[in-house]
Amino acid sequence: MESAAVKSEGLVIPLIDFSRFLHGSPQQRQETADAILQGFQTAGFIYLKGLPIGPEARQRAFAASAAYFRQPAAAKLAQGWTTPEANRGYSAPGREKTTSLTDAEAVARLRAAAPDLKESVEIGREGDPDHPNIWPPEDGEGELREIGFKSTMLDFHDRCKQLHVEVMRAIAVGLGIDEQWFDAYTDEGDNTLRLLHYPEVPKDVFQANPGQVRAGAHSDFGSITLLFQDSRQGSPGGLLLGGLQVQSPTGVFVDATPIEDTCVVNAGDLLARWSNDRIKSTIHRVVEPPAGDGPVHPARYSIAYFCNPNFKSYIKAIPGTYETEKDLKYQGINSGEYLVQRLATTY
Ligand SMILES: O=C(O)CCC(=O)C(=O)O
Ligand SMILES: [Fe+2]
């Protein structure tokens, strides 16, 4: 039923057919939920196949993402990321430094030494009256309008929101609690869709600077992240580019190679905390991809969907993750406040 997508240095990341949870018999459903929970408890990462988000929706999103980043630099800067509270808009290369450091000064020093070679744009829940999304202008002519950038992203956001609901249900089934236990935390969809573009880069940049990465080592903040790696469109010649690495229990970074038509799902810090550390939030990064021909690495695109418990919800240990109050490792915390605090240190 299930196989390992990655198996190295004590890191085993399972490849799980999610259609067996969505459409399988009660037994297949339970087995799949168990495998998912097990993956989150050991590696903190899983690969899912058999997804309700099919290749077409995926390709549309990647094509629209590439078009977004083709806008002139000045246009993108005019749609710039503003505040941790809003967490929406464009970040130019070097703007964000993903790291596990929480001290703002240390992050600033690191950013100056080896800026991440990426640009990104964040799209939050549409319709939040306090924090409207920052859409590129679609008036007049132009590629973004033809592609229907906004409608494509809203559609993808919705599909990912639903997948978040379903993966959290699988975790609930795995934990043996009410299957709908998390629904009251996932229904708002306070999630962030992030489009990422790692521009093409001469290989000697990595030779000249041994610390150079495309995205620095970090863990994610929220509940889970749905990560879609390289589409064919994003990598010329149909080559799946790669570069994502996940830290093993022994501290070694292991390649999490892209697998066609799968989505990588990893647990974030807030889910680790919420589960009283039963679930792991594992450090990962993006490095120089495996070498192809020529002096330049092609551009890489990825799409990360950062899922969070509803911002207004209070997060204290999930039932079934502790025996008595004495076992609780963390105090309760408000979801939105926790995330804003974490974001404030990376930008
Ligand atoms: O681009 C990738 O494959 C990973 C991106 C990532 O880890 C993040 O944005 O948090
Ligand atoms: Fe990440």
pLDDT-based confidence at residue 139 (cuts at 50, 70, 90)? low
pLDDT of 141 reads: 67
pLDDT tens sequence across 333-343: 999 999 999 99
Over range 285-289, report the average pLDDT. Answer: 93
Mean pLDDT score, 85-89:
97
Q: What distance in Å separates the CA atoms of residue 186 and residue 183, rounded to the nearest whole number?
A: 5
Coil, strand or helix: which one is 224? strand
Number of Cβ atoms within 10 Å of the Cβ of 127: 10
Q: How far, in Å, is the centroid of ligand 1 from the Cα of 232?
A: 18
* Helix residue ranges, H only, the chain: 19-23, 26-42, 55-69, 73-77, 104-113, 143-147, 149-175, 183-186, 204-208, 269-274, 335-346
- Nearest C-alpha neighbor of 269 from the set 219, 310, 337, 342: 219
How much distance in Å is there from the Cα of 164 to the middle of ligand 2? 16
| pLDDT tens digits for range 108-121 | 555 555 677 899 99
Pick the residue with more confidence: 210 or 322? 322
Is the CB of residue 6 less than 8 Å from the CB of residue 13?
yes
Q: Using CA of residue 284, residue 290, residue 294, residue 298, what is the dihedral sign?
A: negative
Q: Stretch 157-168: mean pLDDT, rounded? A: 98
The pLDDT of residue 207: 85
Binning pLDDT at 50, 70 and 90, where does residue 292 land? confident
pLDDT at 155 over 80: yes
pTM here? Answer: 0.93
Looking at ligand 1, which residue's alpha carbon is closest to its atom 8?
304
The backbone torsions φ and ψ at residue 281, rounded to the nearest 5 degrees and listed phi first, read -105, 110
What mean pLDDT comes out for the span 159-169? 98
CA count, 13 A, side-chain hemisphere, 233: 16
Q: Which pLDDT band, with edges at 50, 70 and 90, does 95 fall under? A: low
Q: How far apart are CA 242 and CA 290, in angstroms?
A: 7
Percent of the chain with pLDDT over 70: 90
Distance CA 33, CA 20 (A): 9
Q: Which residues surround ligand 1 with Cβ inside 6 Å?
A: 194, 196, 215, 220, 227, 229, 244, 284, 286, 302, 304
Spatial contact of 291 and 146, defined as CB atoms under 8 Å apart = no
pLDDT band at 58 (very low <50, low <70, confident <90, very high): very high
pLDDT at 1 over 80: no
319-322 — which CB contacts under 8 Å span 24+ positions? 319/177, 319/181, 320/175, 320/176, 320/177, 321/175, 321/274, 321/275, 321/276, 321/278, 322/276
Average pLDDT over residues 37-52: 98
Is the sign of the CA dihedral 144, 146, 151, 154 positive or negative?
A: negative
297 compared with 304, residue with greater pLDDT = 304
Band (pLDDT 50/70/90 cuts) for residue 253 is very high
Beta bridge partners of 197: 119, 301
Q: Reduce the DSSP state of residue 267 to 3 states and report it.
A: strand
Q: Say which residue the tokens 């079934």 belong to.
A: 320
Q: Is the pLDDT of residue 42 over 70?
A: yes
Q: What is the largest CA-CA distance in the chain?
A: 62
Q: What is the pLDDT of residue 239?
A: 60
Q: Which numbered ligand comes closest to the C-alpha of 194?
A: 1
Nearest atom, ligand 1, residue 194 CA:
9
Give the span between the Cα atoms of 175 and 274, in whole angstroms.
13
Q: Ligand 2 centroid vs 219 CA: distance in angstroms?
A: 6
| Least confident residue range of 158-167, 208-217, 267-276 | 208-217
Q: What percent of the chain has pLDDT over 90?
A: 77
